[in-house]
């Protein structure tokens, strides 16, 4: 990836030069065409794709900031409200991609860019595919530490991205991946869920409900896993501490912790508002989102 300056529009851009330049031109165009089918504030946008002097490259928006992986490596587990904000933005990006029939297939913190304003952009759709194409493939693609069990057998569905999303959520709120990449002989443990412990056991500040959502997103059995990112997002918004009558203390055991519930006294505490489009938090009196500029 290279940082460049477009002199025609006087703007910094990012240029990606795929390593495999000897592919058929149609193959080279798959990633930019996938990106062109996506139009969302939480997805890196594409400007164009070109081939000059026998070198193919993709021109994309430049996002000043750091990757989510770099931030976690530096800061460790993120504070709960910030972490949930980031997770909601990733859910928005994944949900939008899936609505267009696109699977990312390599969702992980290293492929999420965090701008200086706190806006997240899911990037690196180099391994992404439309569902109908990916479903008939047999090549195992992805990062082992974030791959759903079925992907090791060459099967990929929308829920496979949800598993990777769960691993990413886990790392955001605990500061570490849920497990080290399994060796071939350990795949049966991955299939049974033995390698994963509840994130709340690593970080007791994570509410029980949020921990349960992450574990469901990482369910080894597809039938027990969330099918859509929107379902994850809705459960997160309903289970976030801001919706509870009272916050439980982090030193309480899970047996004593009461489930999070929506307050019946909305006038007592102002409810946090979120943009309907990008899910970023809003000020109480604003009528336009400062991040995606959508009217509320």
Q: Which residues are catalytic?
A: 106
φ/ψ of residue 202, rounded to 5: -90, -30
Q: Using CA of residue 209, residue 213, residue 216, residue 218, what is the dihedral sign? A: negative
Please, which residues have CB within 8 angstroms of residue 136's CB and are 6 or more apart in sequence? none
Tokens 């949800």, residue? 162
Q: Which of 234, 235, 217 is nearest to 226 (CA)?
A: 217
The torsion of the CA quartet 18, 153, 109, 92, rounded to 10 degrees, works out to 100
Identify whether the C-beta of residue 287 lies closer than 8 Å to the C-beta of residue 276.
no
Distance from first CA to last CA of the chain, Å, rounded? 36
Tell me the residue ranges of DSSP E strands in 116-259. Answer: 120-122, 129-130
């Amino acid at each position: 990836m290279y940082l460049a300056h477009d002199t025609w529009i006087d703007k910094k851009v990012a240029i990606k030069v795929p390593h495999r330049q000897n592919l058929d031109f149609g193959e080279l165009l798959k990633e930019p065409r996938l990106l062109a089918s996506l139009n969302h504030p939480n997805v890196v946008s594409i400007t164009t794709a070109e081939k000059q002097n026998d070198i193919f490259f993709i021109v994309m928006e430049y996002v000043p900031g750091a990757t989510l992986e770099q931030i976690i490596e530096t800061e460790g587990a993120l504070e709960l409200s910030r972490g949930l904000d980031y997770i909601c933005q990733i859910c928005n990006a994944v949900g939008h991609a899936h609505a267009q029939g696109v699977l990312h297939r390599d969702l992980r913190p290293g492929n999420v860019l965090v701008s200086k304003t706190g806006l997240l952009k899911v990037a690196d759709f180099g391994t992404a595919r439309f569902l109908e194409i990916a479903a008939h493939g047999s090549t195992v693609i992805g990062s082992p530490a974030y791959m759903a069990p079925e992907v090791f057998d060459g099967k990929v569905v929308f829920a496979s991205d949800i598993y990777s999303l769960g691993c990413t959520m886990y790392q955001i709120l605990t500061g570490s991946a849920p497990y080290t990449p399994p060796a071939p002989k350990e795949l049966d443990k991955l299939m049974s869920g033995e390698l994963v412990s509840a994130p709340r056991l690593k970080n007791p500040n994570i509410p029980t409900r949020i921990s349960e959502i992450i574990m469901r997103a990482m369910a080894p059995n597809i039938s027990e896993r969330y099918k859509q990112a929107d379902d994850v997002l809705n459960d997160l918004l309903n289970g976030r501490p801001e919706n509870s009558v009272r916050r439980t203390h982090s030193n309480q055991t899970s047996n004593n912790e009461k489930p999070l519930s929506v307050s019946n006294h909305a006038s007592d505490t102002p409810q946090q508002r979120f943009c309907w489009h990008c899910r970023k938090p809003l000020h109480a009196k604003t009528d336009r989102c400062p991040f995606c500029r959508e009217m509320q």
